[in-house]
Chains A and B, each alone.
Chain A
């Protein structure tokens, strides 16, 4: 079992551009959560998807959006990138209603 897989590993974008990050959950998990981890900080919750719907959202602007597909994989989209969006983006999968989160290795996004 490969666990949670995220792609790409690293990404460099220019201010104002748009980016899409991808996540494949651990086999059997049906819920995907996204976190942003800025340098020197703990991960911050962005949103969570279950049954292809956004179930919860953290304190992030509408520029951050997501999607979950029927196979439970998920995408995180960020529009109009700002320098402050530079961070490690983590995907975590779990069973809906469970606390057993499995994290991916993350995508390192650099906005220049």
Chain B
């Protein structure tokens, strides 16, 4: 099973600040890495698929990069509604697996 390690565990930002969230895979997942946002009490929401492609309706302040084992989700300018837990997920090999999540808080 492919292990995904996310860092940091928590990050606190002021409105308008940017953030880089990391996801490292225990083996190559090629480009098959997605990022999800989960707000409290809601289902996960697909933000990024295939490492760098924004899903439908996702604001341009969210971007993804990376390949093989190292990936980054960048939030360019934090909005209050971005307070959430962010998960990476690979679909390169069965079973699909998730990282442990990064919690984004507002200062």
Chains A and B bind each other: no
